[in-house]
């Protein structure tokens, strides 16, 4: 028998723990739907972030995973943008990254939208990020458990087109803290244990232009995965 470390034990979710994460995710999906439906030209990032917090309260949630990220236009090129006074205008890229907790268990989701018909460049970046995500998911569906290999699958595809503009790990474990072991990173030695919950969140960030990030949460199973995120992410759904 071999000793384990606490982060390895914590990574594997019981049914009850998983149910909390899924519940937090379902509530966040409700909040995202309501948020998207309420968007209007001229609204500020800060106003939208505040209405997200209100919508969570309305759904009985008062502890969030992290401060909601709402970014418009060029601000979407900033990975951890803090919502400010930028106003939504036609042609803008919109990025939402938020999640909440249920019984201290976190959820995490990112969606990118276009306010009106996207330009060809916006569409191309969106579809490439989505493709990188699907490549990673396909790897996981084949039973791959080496974090490095999964990270590299999406990363190599994006690097061919956007050099080093995918500036963060492909994803992370989720539990009672929003970023926990294991980690998808280019040099990660982590092996995903069956039963851990991971985000998959490729992104491309072009300074003075904008960015795209798409993030789902998946449960790692013996043979593959179960996607815990139930929210559309095709380009058509992303066009508002």
Q: Residue 182: helix, strand or coil by DSSP? A: strand
Total residues contacting Mn ion (rule CB under 5 A)? 2
Cα(174)–Cα(177) distance, integer angstroms: 6
> CB of residue 85 vs Mn ion: minimum separation in angstroms?
25
> CB of residue 122 vs Mn ion: minimum separation in angstroms?
22
Phi-psi region of 237 (alpha: psi -120 to 50; beta: other; left: phi over 0): alpha
> CB of residue 201 vs Mn ion: minimum separation in angstroms?
5
> CB of residue 68 vs Mn ion: minimum separation in angstroms?
12
Tokens for 3, please give them. Answer: 């000793």
108 binds Mn ion (CB under 5 A): yes
Nearer to Mn ion, 24 or 118 (CB): 24
Within 195-224, which residues bind Mn ion (CB under 5 A)?
Answer: 199
Tokens for 186, please give them. Answer: 């280019």
Nearer to Mn ion, 88 or 197 (CB): 197
Backbone phi, then psi, for 95, in 5-degree steps? Answer: -125, 130
Within 170-199, which residues bind Mn ion (CB under 5 A)?
Answer: 199
- 100 secondary structure, DSSP code: B
Residues that bind Mn ion (CB under 5 A): 108, 199
């Amino acid at each position: 028998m071999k000793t384990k470390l606490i982060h390895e034990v914590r990574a594997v979710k019981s049914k009850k723990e998983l149910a909390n994460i899924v519940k937090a995710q379902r509530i966040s999906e409700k909040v995202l739907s309501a948020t998207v439906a309420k968007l209007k030209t001229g609204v500020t990032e800060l106003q939208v972030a505040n209405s997200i917090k209100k919508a969570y309260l309305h759904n009985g949630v008062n502890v969030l995973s992290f401060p909601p990220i709402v970014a418009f236009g060029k601000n979407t090129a900033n990975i951890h943008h803090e919502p400010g006074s930028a106003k939504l205008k036609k042609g803008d890229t919109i990025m939402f990254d938020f999640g909440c907790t249920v019984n201290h268990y976190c959820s995490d989701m990112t969606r990118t939208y276009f306010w009106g018909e996207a330009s060809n460049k916006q569409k191309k970046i969106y579809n490439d990020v989505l493709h990188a995500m699907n490549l990673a998911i396909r790897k996981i569906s084949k039973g791959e458990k080496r974090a490095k290999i999964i990270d590299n699958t999406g990363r190599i595809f994006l690097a061919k087109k956007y050099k080093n503009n995918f500036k963060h790990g492909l994803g992370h474990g989720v539990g009672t803290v929003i970023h926990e072991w294991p980690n998808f990173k280019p040099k990660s030695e982590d092996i995903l244990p069956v039963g851990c919950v991971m985000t998959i969140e490729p992104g491309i960030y072009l300074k003075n232009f904008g960015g795209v990030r798409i993030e789902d949460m998946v449960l790692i199973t013996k043979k593959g995965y179960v996607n815990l995120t139930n929210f559309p992410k095709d380009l058509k759904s992303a066009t508002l």
